[in-house]
Amino acid sequence: MFDSTLLVHAGRDPEAFQGVVNTPVFRASTVLASSIAEWEQRKKERAAEQPGTYYGRHGTPTTHSFEEAMAALEGGHRTLVFPSGLAACAFAILPFVGTGDHVLITDSAYDPTRRLAAGVLKRFGVTTEFYDPLAAEGIEALIKPNTRLIYTESPGSHTFEMQDTARIAEVAHRHGALVAMDNTWATPLYFKPLQHGVDISVQAATKYIVGHSDAMLGTVTVNRALWPQLKSTAYDLGQISSPDDCYLALRGLRTLAVRLKQHWLSGVALAQWLARQPEVECVLHPALPGDPGHEIWQRDFKGASGLFSVVMKPMAADAFAALIDGLELFGIGASWGGYESLVLPIDPAGHRSVTTWPHRGPAFRVHAGLEDMRDLIADLEQGFARLRKLL
Ligand SMILES: *Cc1c(COP(=O)(O)O)cnc(C)c1O
C-alpha cells in the first residue's frame, strides 16, 4: 500500500465505533468491569499487550488508534505516544541506557536534547560526547566499549546538516550500539528511519503530524526487540498523552501527504528566491542543488519539508530587524509544521561544542506555510526593501 493510502486508512476501525469514520475521543481514567472474571480478563489482555482498555494511564482507543497509525507509517513494530516531542526525544535514550554507559549525540541536535544530556543523563551517570554530524565513518573512533547509543538528527536543527544514517547505523551495530534518530523534519512520509538501520525513530508530532499549531505530542517507534524496554520505562515514569491531542494528531495524519507536498514546494521556492538576494550569504536547505547535504538528501529522502535557514551577510542589528519585524504573513515564533508561515532568529554558535558555526552575519529559520507563494514572496520583497533603506 502506498503511504498516502495508508495515511487515510491506518488506525481506523469504524465498525468498532458504530460506523463513525474517526475513532472518537475517549476520555478515561477508570474503566469499569462488570464482574471479577471480566476484570481478570482485562488484566490478562494488558499483560499480553493486547490493546484493550484497563485503566486510562495505559491509553484508550483514541491513543491506541494514533499509535497504530504511526507504527504503520513508520514501518515499525509498535509506536508509543508521549505528551511532547521533547518527551519522545528523552524516551529515545532513557530506556536504553544506565549508569556507566556512554552516549554519542550529534552536535546539530535540537538544543533541549543537548540539555537532557548535560542534566538528567549526567546526573544518573551516563556520559555524553557530541560528534560532528558530517563524520559518518569518523564516528567509529569515538565509540568506546561502553557506548550504548548513537543519537542522530537529520537534517540538523537550525543548521540542516544531512547525516549518512545507514553508515552510522552500520558502524554502531558493529560495536553493539543502538541508533536513535529525531526524524521530525522529513516525517516518516519522506524518510523511514527503521528502513535505514535506525533502531529508535522519534517524531515531534507537534510539528507536521498535528500540523495545525494546536497540540503537542511526540512518538517513539521501535522494532520488536526494543519494545518491552521502551514500554516498561515509559509506564514506570507514568507517561500518558491526552486523548484530545491524540485525536487532533490523527486528524492531522489524514492530510499529511497533501500538506507536506505544498510545504516542500513552497519551501524550495522561498529558499531559491532568498538565495538570489544580494544581502543573503547562504541558504541552508538540503533540497537545493549545491547544498552540502544535497547528495544524501537525494539518495535517502523522498521529499523535503518547508523548514530551512537563511544566513545574512554581516549587517547592523536594526537592518536585520527591519527585514523581520515588519513581515505581515510570517509570524515570529518557535515550533513549526503548522499551516502558517514563520520566521525565527537563530544563533547556532551558542549550541555547539565540537563544530564551529562559520558565519558572522545574523541568521533566521523559515517555515514555509500553506499561504500562496506569491503573497509570501511579496511580503519578503517588502522586508528586503525595508532592510536596504538601512544599509
Ligand atoms: C520541536 C522539536 C522537538 C520537540 O518537540 P516539542 O513537541 O516542542 O517538545 C524535537 N525535535 C525537533 C527536531 C523539533 O523541531
Q: Where are the domains of the chain?
A: 3-254, 256-388
Rounded Cα–Cα distance for residues 184 and 378 (Å) = 29
- Residues 202-220: tens digit of each pLDDT: 999 999 999 999 999 999 9
Name the grid cell of 210.
498535528
Residue 375 has pLDDT above 90, yes or no: yes
- With CA atoms as reference, report the closest residue to 336 among 300, 309, 303, 297: 309
pLDDT-based confidence at residue 53 (cuts at 50, 70, 90): confident
Cell numbers 527585514 correspond to 323
- Ligand 1 pocket, residue 88 CB under 6 Å: no
Structural fold of domain 3-254: Aspartate Aminotransferase; domain 2 (3.40.640)
**Is the shortest distance between the CB of 346 and ligand 1 below 6 Å?**
no
- Of 85-99, 146-160, 222-236, 347-361, which range is least confident? 347-361
What tens digit of pLDDT does each residue of 21-47 get?
A: 999 999 999 999 999 999 999 888 888
Distance CA 168, CA 316 (A): 41
Percent above pLDDT 90 for the chain: 93
According to DSSP, the β-strands at 102-106 and 78-82 are unpaired
Count other C-beta atoms under 10 Å from residue 379's C-beta: 16
Ligand 1: which residue has its CA nearest to atom 1?
335
List pLDDT tens digits, range 123-181: 999 999 999 999 877 899 999 999 999 999 999 999 999 999 999 999 999 999 999 99
State whether the beta carbon of 165 lies less than 6 angstroms from ligand 1. Answer: no
Q: What is the pLDDT of residue 83?
A: 98
Residues 6+ apart with CB under 8 A from 44: none
Instruction: Among 3.90.1150.10, 2.60.40.3080, 3.20.20.450, 3.40.50.1980, name the CATH number for the domain at 256-388.
Output: 3.90.1150.10
pLDDT of residue 45: 85
Residue type, 282: C
Q: Work out whether the CA dihedral 203, 208, 210, 215 comes out positive or negative.
A: positive
Q: How does the average pLDDT of the chain come out, rounded?
A: 96
| Marked catalytic residue, from 101, 107, 110, 164 | 110
Ligand 1: centre distance to CA 333 (Å): 13
Q: 247: closest CA among 7, 24, 21, 11?
A: 24
pLDDT value at residue 51: 66
d(CA 379, CA 366) in angstroms, rounded, equals 13
Peptide bond into 155 cis (omega under 30): yes
Report the pLDDT value the prediction gives residue 137, as an integer from 0 to 100. Answer: 78
Beta strands 331-332 and 218-222, pairing class: unpaired
